[in-house]
């Protein structure tokens, strides 16, 4: 492997024959010379290189010129790093014949050869060389200036070293270096890569412009290879591709080019077969240009295919698969490499029998040696067309040329290029009626040397080529919900089309009938799919003058106004790319004059974006809903709308049935079994189920016997809101992600989530052996709700009789409407410290009796010691839940 170390002064004149290089042979190939100059750099140019790299550009070539080192970028053109060639910067440092030379003089330093290590490298501003011990040793020769090393496979590294030995690197990628992996289409192993060969018999007479091969030369062509490259935006078309086997042997004569897959539709599951998606998403087709070998060279290549590739003879019907063939991989400039999954096949080329006009339907013409059957085609004036083989005969046409009558050539302004196989009709002899047309002969020469021809009878379309480009339009359907009627439409400016027509405007105006204009919506960019006719019921389209109201004539046409209907979407979907094609026809409405195609997308806010929670109700993303209603029949209903500042009133609302909320006895319970919605809209109420059911609707769970809590009480329930359409319009979402919104909610009692505790300290002190008992008053004990709001557990509402201190007490002795009952018990059945607990109701002063304060009366046993014990305060709230809180009491010895 020969590499060149070239100075800024002597680049291009030094011949280097050693195996030395700044980088190891395994990293860089022979395609690009390494450049090394002891120079000063233009700082702005260096900065611009880095900016281009950061912007995603890449290098297609590097060369040394008188101006400096020139980097050619794919998108940004050439950028030059200028060189200072003053005498004091002219030191030449090179490696030749295995020895380091400085200014042409041998230094006696001979780096050791190592396949894995560079013989010379720069370290801390000084050149070091690889010695016989495999270690790097200083030469004492300082480094300064700019060094460029690399290749088209790996990219390039620009190193700038200042006079103090400080270095800065700029990594400049090449096309191939950006490709990280190559994936073959799944059918590669079954279809193989088939090389066709045709022995060329030189014709006695041929008028084509392409140089003919020697007689009995062999012309090779091939099938194609479908690949996917990563990353998907890598410039795969800039690289060359080769076929390499597992022994790193690359097949000679085969160099492939990449063409991006260009279908307008996304590829179906049946057609994808291991590939990605459309242009810009990594799909490419590799193909080989025809190449010619002499008879002897062809024999050598055929032997290589037989011996090294074990190529399958496709003409041998007894061999039905590629199992015995050598497996090859596709590699990009010897950088990225696919899996070894591609066998080689060979066959004798078939005869060329048909041609076609590229991208023109029903244009296949049959070839014949003489008197071919004519094929009629219709072309658009000003448009360029290409002649090519049909798909099954790709690569079989070696050359072709056009011929037609001179009078037709001048009358219709026909121009053609025999080498590119293209022709254009520039003139329409009659702007008001279609011309009669002319015969165009295609003379072909196959790879076998067969001379045949086809004749097209060319008719002219009344269409006028209009190369106008309209920017894509995105219309927000939400505008239909405001009060401004002018927002209900979008417009297409016809001045864009007029400008594109140029001097054909008069022809257009004389031909067109504006009242015959047709509009349709397509899903393919080339409008080849079945259209959706629009303009009558949903989208209403009018041609207007500049005021957007007055019906247009050819003289005042300014806008196409497209009015969007709120209720009728013409079966169009939101967030889907459409193409609005406006076709202008002639005055009788039978022939197309021209058309414009405008990319259009209708969009609308998602369902989720139409919901806004009131933040005051939300904790960690979940609505904390506390009961608020005290009306007996509705008190356990939670109104969903209460918690939202806005919502989609047209959404269908349901409790989730997929995600498990809790489990019991190996049964799974979901939100839909734990609660119920009164109706399937945001106007509905959610209520906890008294009988919770599992995911299958069985295994019911009743509320807790002590607390009254339903099985779903306090659990995080999920509610889903879905709407296939945007709000109350007729416009349907095309993506599921925009159709749905979900939120979570917990339903709780404000009392149940509180507690009961002493007002001061951690215990309530009472006296022992009091015959009247000790009254615990509201000044000593309190209840608090979830928000620490206090309420009295001691009776505080005037009554005429005392509450019974039982779970079934019916005396409403508490003023707080959220409290239904309180009863107090001693802790533990064997608690002998407390003899009895009663409740004393609050009584108003009467003529016969003084007022009585409510209290919890506790009679304690006579004790010789101070003793702490506890009472249990049970509070039943208005919603049927009972909170039981242990409260410490200390019995004092007086």
Condensed to tens digits (0 to 9), the pLDDT of residues 571-589 reads 999 999 999 999 999 999 9
Q: Which residue has the higher pLDDT, 169 or 227?
A: 227
Lowest mean pLDDT among 22-36, 306-320, 549-563: 22-36
Residue pLDDT, tens place only, 535-571: 778 899 999 999 999 999 999 999 999 999 999 999 9
Q: Which residue has the higher pLDDT, 829 or 633?
A: 633
**Banded pLDDT at 102 (limits 50, 70, 90):** low
Contacts 24+ apart (CB under 8 A), 116-121: 116/24, 116/26, 117/24, 118/21, 118/22, 118/23, 118/24, 119/20, 119/21, 119/95, 120/20, 120/22, 120/95, 121/22
In terms of Cα–Cα distance, which of 139, 148, 145 is closest to 83?
A: 145
Residue pLDDT, tens place only, 638-658: 999 999 999 999 999 999 999
Mean of pLDDT values over 847-866: 92
Q: Which residue has the higher pLDDT, 52 or 401?
A: 401
Residue pLDDT, tens place only, 869-888: 999 999 999 999 999 999 99
Given a cut of 60, whether residue 323 has pLDDT beyond it is: yes
Q: Which residue has the higher pLDDT, 679 or 96?
A: 679
Q: What are the C-alpha distances in Å from 346 to residues 313, 322, 426, 516, 828?
A: 5, 11, 44, 56, 96
Residue 351: how many CB atoms within 10 A of its CB?
A: 13
Which letter does DSSP use for residue 13 in this model? T
Residue pLDDT, tens place only, 724-738: 999 999 999 999 999
Q: In what order do the strands lie in the sheet with 834-840?
A: 774-776, 855-860, 834-840
Mean of pLDDT values over 136-154: 64
Residue pLDDT, tens place only, 206-258: 999 999 999 999 999 998 999 998 888 788 888 889 999 999 899 999 989 88
Six-digit token string for 262? 């260009």
Among all chains, which residue has been given the structure tokens 């049909």?
Answer: 390
Mean of pLDDT values over 177-187: 85
| pLDDT for residue 300 | 93
Given a cut of 80, whether residue 167 has pLDDT beyond it is: no
CA 75 to CA 596: how far, in whole Å?
A: 30
Residue pLDDT, tens place only, 329-371: 999 877 789 999 999 999 999 999 999 999 899 999 999 999 9
| pLDDT for residue 462 | 72
| pLDDT for residue 66 | 66
The fraction of the chain above a pLDDT of 90, given in percent, is: 62
| pLDDT for residue 635 | 96
Lowest mean pLDDT among 3-7, 255-259, 692-696: 3-7
| pLDDT for residue 515 | 94
| pLDDT for residue 22 | 34
CA 498 to CA 809: how far, in whole Å?
A: 91
| pLDDT for residue 157 | 67
Q: What is the pTM of this model?
A: 0.55
Contacts 24+ apart (CB under 8 A), 52-59: 52/76, 52/79, 53/170, 53/171, 53/172, 53/173, 56/233, 58/155, 58/172, 58/173, 58/174, 58/175, 58/177, 58/178, 58/235, 58/238, 59/155, 59/156, 59/172, 59/173, 59/174
| pLDDT for residue 604 | 96
| pLDDT for residue 92 | 47
Name the most confidently modeled range: 29-33, 62-66, 106-110: 106-110
The total number of residues shown for the chain amounts to 894
The 3-state DSSP class for residue 12 equals coil
Q: Which residue has the higher pLDDT, 178 or 455?
A: 455
Mean of pLDDT values over 488-512: 92
Given a cut of 60, whether residue 88 has pLDDT beyond it is: no
Domains of the chain: 35-174 (no CATH), 179-348 (no CATH), 354-464 (2.60.40.10), 473-603 (2.60.40), 608-748 (no CATH), 755-892 (2.60.40)
Given a cut of 70, whether residue 816 has pLDDT beyond it is: yes
Given a cut of 90, whether residue 302 has pLDDT beyond it is: yes
Given a cut of 60, whether residue 665 has pLDDT beyond it is: yes
- In 437-545, beta strands by DSSP E: 438-446, 451-464, 473-476, 489-493, 518-522, 532-533, 540-544
818 contacts 876 by C-beta, under 8 angstroms: no
**Banded pLDDT at 293 (limits 50, 70, 90):** very high
Mean of pLDDT values over 462-468: 73
Q: Work out the mean pLDDT of the chain and round it to a whole number.
A: 85
Mean of pLDDT values over 267-281: 44
Mean of pLDDT values over 154-161: 63
| pLDDT for residue 142 | 64
Lowest mean pLDDT among 525-539, 614-628, 788-802: 525-539
Given a cut of 50, whether residue 480 has pLDDT beyond it is: yes
Mean of pLDDT values over 488-503: 94
| pLDDT for residue 145 | 59
Given a cut of 70, whether residue 61 has pLDDT beyond it is: no
In terms of Cα–Cα distance, which of 194, 196, 146, 136 is closest to 172?
A: 146
Q: Which residue has the higher pLDDT, 457 or 34?
A: 457
């Amino acid at each position: 492997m020969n590499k060149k170390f070239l100075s800024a002064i002597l680049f291009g004149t030094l011949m280097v024959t050693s195996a030395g290089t700044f980088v190891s042979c395994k990293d860089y190939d022979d395609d690009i010379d390494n450049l090394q100059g002891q120079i000063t750099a233009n700082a702005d140019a260096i900065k611009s290189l880095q900016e281009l790299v950061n912007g995603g550009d890449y290098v297609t070539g590097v060369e040394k010129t008188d101006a400096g080192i020139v980097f050619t970028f794919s998108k940004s053109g050439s950028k030059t790093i200028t060189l200072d060639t003053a005498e004091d910067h002219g030191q030449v440092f090179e490696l030749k014949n295995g020895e380091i030379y400085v200014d042409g003089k041998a230094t006696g330093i001979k780096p050791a050869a190592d396949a894995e290590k560079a013989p010379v490298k720069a370290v801390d501003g000084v050149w070091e060389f690889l010695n016989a011990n495999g270690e790097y040793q200083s030469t004492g020769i300082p480094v300064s200036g700019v060094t460029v090393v690399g290749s088209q496979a790996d990219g390039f590294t620009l190193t700038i070293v200042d006079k103090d030995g400080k270095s800065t690197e700029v990594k400049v990628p090449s096309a191939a270096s950006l490709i990280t992996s190559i994936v073959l289409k799944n059918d590669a192993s079954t279809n193989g890569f088939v090389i066709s060969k045709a022995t060329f018999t030189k014709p006695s007479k041929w008028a084509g412009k392409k140089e003919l091969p020697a007689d009995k030369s062999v012309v090779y062509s091939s099938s194609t290879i479908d690949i996917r490259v990563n990353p998907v935006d890598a410039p795969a078309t800039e690289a060359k591709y080769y076929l390499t086997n597992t022994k790193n042997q690359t097949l000679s004569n085969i160099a492939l080019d990449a063409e991006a897959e260009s279908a307008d539709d996304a590829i179906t599951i049946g057609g994808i077969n291991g590939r990605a998606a459309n242009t810009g998403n990594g799909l490419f087709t590799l193909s080989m240009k025809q190449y010619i070998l002499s008879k002897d060279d062809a024999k050598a290549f055929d032997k290589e295919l037989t011996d090294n590739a074990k190529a399958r003879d496709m003409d041998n019907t007894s061999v039905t698969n590629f199992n015995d063939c050598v497996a090859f991989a596709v590699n990009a400039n010897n950088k990225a490499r696919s899996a070894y999954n591609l066998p080689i096949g060979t066959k004798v080329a078939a005869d060329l029998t048909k041609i076609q006009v590229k991208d023109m339907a029903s244009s296949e013409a049959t070839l014949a040696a003489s008197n071919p059957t004519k094929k009629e085609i219709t072309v658009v004036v000003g448009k360029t067309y290409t002649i090519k083989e049909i798909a099954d005969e790709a690569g079989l046409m070696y050359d072709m040329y056009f011929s037609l009558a001179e009078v037709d050539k001048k009358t219709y302004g026909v121009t053609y290029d025999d080498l590119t196989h293209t022709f254009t009709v520039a003139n329409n002899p009659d702007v008001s009626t279609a011309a009669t047309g002319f015969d165009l002969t295609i003379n072909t020469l196959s790879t076998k040397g067969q001379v045949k021809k086809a004749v097209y009878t060319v008719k002219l379309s009344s269409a006028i080529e209009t190369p106008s480009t309209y920017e894509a339009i995105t219309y927000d359907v939400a505008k239909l919900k405001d009060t401004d009627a002018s927002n209900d439409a979008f417009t297409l400016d016809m001045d864009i089309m007029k400008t594109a027509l140029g001097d054909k405007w008069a022809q257009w105006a004389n031909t067109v009938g504006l009242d015959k204009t047709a509009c349709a919506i397509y899903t393919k960019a080339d409008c080849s799919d079945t259209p959706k006719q629009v303009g009558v019921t949903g989208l209403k389209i009018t041609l207007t003058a500049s005021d957007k109201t007055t019906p247009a004539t050819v003289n005042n046409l300014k806008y196409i106004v497209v009015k969007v209907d709120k209720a009728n979407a013409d079966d169009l979907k939101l967030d889907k790319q459409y193409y609005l094609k406006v076709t202008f026809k002639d005055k009788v409405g039978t022939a197309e004059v021209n058309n414009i195609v405008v990319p259009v997308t209708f969009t609308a806010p998602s369902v989720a974006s139409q919901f806004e929670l009131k933040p005051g109700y939300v904790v960690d993303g979940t609505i904390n809903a506390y009961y608020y209603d005290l009306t007996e029949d509705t008190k356990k209903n939670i109104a969903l709308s209460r918690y939202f500042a806005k919502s989609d009133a047209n959404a269908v609302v349901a409790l989730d049935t997929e995600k498990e909320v809790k489990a019991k006895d190996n049964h799974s319970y979901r939100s839909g079994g734990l609660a119920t919605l009164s109706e399937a809209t945001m106007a509905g109420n959610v209520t906890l189920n008294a009988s919770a059911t599992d995911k299958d609707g069985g295994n019911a769970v009743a509320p807790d016997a002590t607390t009254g809590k339903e099985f779903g009480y306090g659990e995080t329930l999920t509610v889903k809101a879905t709407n296939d359409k945007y709000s109350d319009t007729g416009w349907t979402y095309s993506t599921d992600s925009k159709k749905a919104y979900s939120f979570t909610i917990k339903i709780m009692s404000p009392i149940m989530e509180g507690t009961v505790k002493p007002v001061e300290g951690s215990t309530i002190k009472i006296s022992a052996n009091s015959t009247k008992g000790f009254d615990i008053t509201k000044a000593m004990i309190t209840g608090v709700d979830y928000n620490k709001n206090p309420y009295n557990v001691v009776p505080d509402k005037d009554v005429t009789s005392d509450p019974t201190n039982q779970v079934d007490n019916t005396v409403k002795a508490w003023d707080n409407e959220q409290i239904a009952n309180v009863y107090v018990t001693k802790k533990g059945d064997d608690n002998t410290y407390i003899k009895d607990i009663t409740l004393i109701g609050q009584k108003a002063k009467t003529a016969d009796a003084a007022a009585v304060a409510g209290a919890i009366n506790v009679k304690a046993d006579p004790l010789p010691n101070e003793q702490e014990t506890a009472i249990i305060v049970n509070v039943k709230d208005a919603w049927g839940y009972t909170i039981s809180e242990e409260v410490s009491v200390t019995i004092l010895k007086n």
